[in-house]
Amino acid sequence: MSKLYVPQGYDPILNPTETQRAIKRIKDFFQRELAHTLNLGRVSAPLFVFPETGLNDNLSGVERRVDFTIKDLDERHVEVVQSLAKWKRMALGRYHTEVGRGLYTDMNAIRRDEELDNIHSIYVDQWDWEKVITADQRNDKYLEQTVRIIYRCLIDLADYVDDLYPELGGVGLPDRIKFIDSQELEDWYPDCTSKERERRAAEEYGAVFIKRIGGKLKSGEPHDMRAPDYDDWELNGDIILWNDVLQDQFEISSMGIRVDAEAMDRQLKLSGHEERRGLRFHQSILNDQLPLTIGGGIGQSRLCMFFLKKAHIGEVQVAVWPEDMNEECKANKIFLL
């Protein structure tokens, strides 16, 4: 059955042709702002990696990766990336990037096990970014400072879109983003699921950063699953906005200060994934051979969908959908590209 939500009275403001123009304008503007404010340079990135490197993102640990063999490499296996969380840090080490500078790239991934709905597609496109930091910057204060910089880019984008398309009526972002610890959120709403907690917080504040994701809360469950080998679970979080069209919480970015050797060691033990210690990437972290970094991903289609007030991610990206969803969208003025 289709998991489509149709907003009551939905009628897209921009037609498909103008939407396509607006997508490019939004992407061009935002990546310039992001690169300038975080001191990032654009680099090329892989679409696939060798599994034995440990560079692919395991996400929550249960998603199947898309893999294939290469004829001219004696049928050696490669995997399509699920994100570039680990590759970026390895790249900064290879480029000998200095402290205070970083990189960003267009990340394109295939996540075959996504449950398809208004905001989830098997095709994932995001700006993946990573920046070199010092040991002294591995703290909550620096994390929040970086979140505020990114949020300022979102505010600037809102002003830009409003100037270009006043007919959209603006998205109404609050001037400031609210920081909430995941344990604090559970204490507020102990009888809710984590997504229900996020929804309540996003509706109340408009824009929130939920901190410390991956480790277990007092309930014995984590707020959400995070791989143990890139984010430090004590120094990470998600930027979540209130989506007025969908009347729901809307995650726009996952980010964090990355693990050092101590955090990697601790989180591999806690998650029961100590077998990863022998992988090339993990060895590099455990032996302090890679720079300390902060980084994250910002959804490109998610961003366009939000600022253009679209009801479905398929209105801003080309993907594949269940036939009943295609028909339901067609009947409700939701134009899937």
What's the pLDDT tens digit per position in 141-161?
Answer: 999 999 999 999 999 999 999
Where residue 60 falls among pLDDT bands split at 50, 70, 90? Answer: low
38 falls within a domain: yes
Mean pLDDT of 283-303: 95
> What pLDDT does 59 receive?
73
Asked if 49 contacts 203 with a C-beta cutoff of 8 angstroms, the reply is: no
Q: How far is CA 308 from the centre of its chain?
A: 19
> What pLDDT does 269 receive?
94
72 falls within a domain: yes
- CATH number, position 217: 3.30.930.10
Where residue 201 falls among pLDDT bands split at 50, 70, 90? Answer: very high
Whether 62 shows a pLDDT value over 80: the answer reads no
Going by the DSSP 8-state scheme, the letter that residue 168 receives in this structure is: G
336 falls within a domain: no
6 falls within a domain: no
Helix/strand/coil for 293 = strand
Query: What is the tens place of the pLDDT at every residue in 212-238?
Result: 999 999 999 999 988 899 999 999 999
From CA 88, how far away is CA 297, in angstroms rounded? 11
Backbone angles phi, psi at 129, to 5 degrees: -135, 155
From CA 140, how far away is CA 136, in angstroms rounded? 11
Report the b/e string of 179-209 with b at 16+ CB within 10 A.
bbbbbebbeeeeeeebeebbbbbbeebbbbb
Which residues does the annotation mark as catalytic?
Answer: 57, 111, 126, 238, 251, 254
238 falls within a domain: yes
What is the Cα Rg of the chain in Å?
20
Q: How many domains does the chain have?
A: 1
Tokens representing residue 120 in the block: 């989830």
Whether 180 shows a pLDDT value over 90: the answer reads yes
Whether 310 shows a pLDDT value over 80: the answer reads yes
Boundaries of domain holding 225: 16-331
> What pLDDT does 51 receive?
87
Mean pLDDT of 38-60: 87
Mean pLDDT of 30-41: 97
239 falls within a domain: yes
Average pLDDT, the chain: 94
Where residue 61 falls among pLDDT bands split at 50, 70, 90? Answer: low
Residues 6 or more apart whose CB falls under 8 angstroms from that of 247 comprise 7
Strand partners, 240: 208, 251
Mean pLDDT of 106-132: 93
Where residue 1 falls among pLDDT bands split at 50, 70, 90? Answer: low
Helix/strand/coil for 288 = coil
Mean pLDDT of 76-95: 91
143 falls within a domain: yes
From CA 313, how far away is CA 299, in angstroms rounded? 11
From CA 49, how far away is CA 280, in angstroms rounded? 13
Where residue 83 falls among pLDDT bands split at 50, 70, 90? Answer: confident
174 falls within a domain: yes
Whether 115 shows a pLDDT value over 70: the answer reads yes
